[in-house]
Amino acid sequence: MFNFALMNLTTKQIAEEINGTVEGDTEIQISQLSKIEEGENGSISFLANPKYTEYIYSTKASAVVVSNDFNPSEKLSTTLIRVKDPYQSFTDLLELYNSNEKSSKGISKTSVIDKTSSLGDNAFIGEYVIIKKNSIIGKDCEISSHSFIGSNVRIGDNVVIYPGVKILNDTIIGDNCIIHSCSVIGSDGFGFAPLKDGTYKKIPQTGNVIIKDNVEIGSNSSIDRATIGSTIINNGVKLDNQIQIAHNVEIGENTVIAAQCGIAGSSKIGKNCMFGGQVGVIGHVKVGNNVKIAAQSAVSSDIKDNEIIKGSPAIPTMNFNRSYIHFKNLPEIVKKIDKKSKNK
């Protein structure tokens, strides 16, 4: 449960923040956010998923954010705040909480910042942060403890970097990005040339990583620098935890990728795509725009715009479902074939 602490807003004030209307007591003091099934006095929750409707009749939350068209079938003991989109409105409340929580400013005495690098206004540099030569950090950035910023790095405004992040040489990061703990941006791509004697020679990785605006990268993820040119993460991309993006990959705007996915070198991913967890994409593949890929799928060939695919190798979902019916019944089919063979 989240505590607003410094806020203590009334239901009327909260409704004004999220463009809602109060149905009930407008002066209830709210100091906490809660799940609807775990609500307590003084907390506010939300109802967006119909699966949780039953809890609104028993919740102890003082207020619940609901949709404008919610029609209760029983008497309620909680105050309602009606909005167009409860999920989005509750997200706005979480952002309001989060903005009040962030108050760290200043530069730690244990940080090491090269004299050729520059910091924007209101920057926060945590304990044991290292910033190497000729790097530029924008205004209102937060770089948490034990992070490393290499040489010639460019970081835009209002960027949040959590503890232990490594941003290596020549990386460019836009505005309003978030990089979670222990991720590595700009490590060498996996490039090795096979030799006649069976050994491998490392191919120098001379490119960089470009991360554009409003990108979020989960913890323990790796984005490799390009062999030549740039690995590019476009505006609005959201990457979950433990994701591997190889050298020279490009990911289109507003694509979202769930945990443990891996995208091999030089693949191009379109705009507004959605990847489930543990999807694998081989190298040099082109995935179109608005593509949806089910979890644990293996993409081994180009995918056209607007496709929905699943399986290994991944095929259109309808084809996969038809094939699975036969696969599921395969033991019975084999029994029937064996029985007919014996009766001959």
pLDDT at 86: 92
Element (H, E) at 130: strand 130-131
What are the φ/ψ torsions at residue 304 (nearest 5 degrees)? -75, 165
30-51 confidence digits (pLDDT tens) = 988 889 999 999 999 999 999 9
285-320 confidence digits (pLDDT tens) = 999 999 999 999 999 999 999 999 988 777 677 777
Q: What is the mean pLDDT of residues 214-235?
A: 97
pLDDT at 102: 53
80-109 confidence digits (pLDDT tens) = 999 999 999 988 888 777 665 555 678 999
Catalytic residue (choose from 180, 247, 284, 326): 247
Rounded-to-integer distance, Cα 214 and Cα 13, Å: 28
Which CATH architecture best describes the domain 2-101? 3-Layer(aba) Sandwich (3.40)
Closest among 41, 78, 72 to 58, alpha carbons compared: 78
pLDDT at 331: 81
Query: pLDDT confidence of 234, banded at 50, 70, 90?
Result: very high
Residue 201 has pLDDT above 80, yes or no: yes
Q: What is the mean pLDDT of the chain?
A: 91
Q: Which amino acid is at 10?
A: T
Domain locations in the chain as residue ranges = 2-101, 106-320
Distances (CA, A) of 25 to 62, 72, 93, 217: 9, 17, 19, 41
Tokens of 122: 């209101």
Judge if 2-101 and 106-320 fold alike in CATH terms. Answer: no
Annotation marks residue 247 as catalytic? yes
**Could you write out the DSSP letters of every residue in 64-105?**
EEEETT---SS--SSEEEEES-HHHHHHHHHHHHHHHH----
Query: pLDDT confidence of 129, banded at 50, 70, 90?
Result: very high
Residue 325 has pLDDT above 90, yes or no: no
Rounded-to-integer distance, Cα 256 and Cα 260, Å: 13
pLDDT at 100: 56
Strand-pairing partners, residue 269, are 251, 287
Residue 205 has pLDDT above 60, yes or no: yes
Yes or no: domain 106-320 corresponds to CATH 2.160.10.10: yes
Rounded-to-integer distance, Cα 167 and Cα 158, Å: 16
Distances (CA, A) of 59 to 64, 78, 281, 312, 336: 9, 8, 45, 44, 56
168-199 confidence digits (pLDDT tens) = 999 999 999 999 999 999 999 999 999 999 99
**Could you write out the DSSP letters of every residue in 226-284?**
PSSSEEEE-TT-EE-SS-EE-TT-EE-TT-EE-TT-EE-TT-EE-TT-EE-TT-EE-TT
pTM over 0.85: no
Q: What is the mean pLDDT of residues 327-339?
A: 75
Measured from the Cβ of residue 5, the count of other Cβ atoms closer than 10 Å reads 11
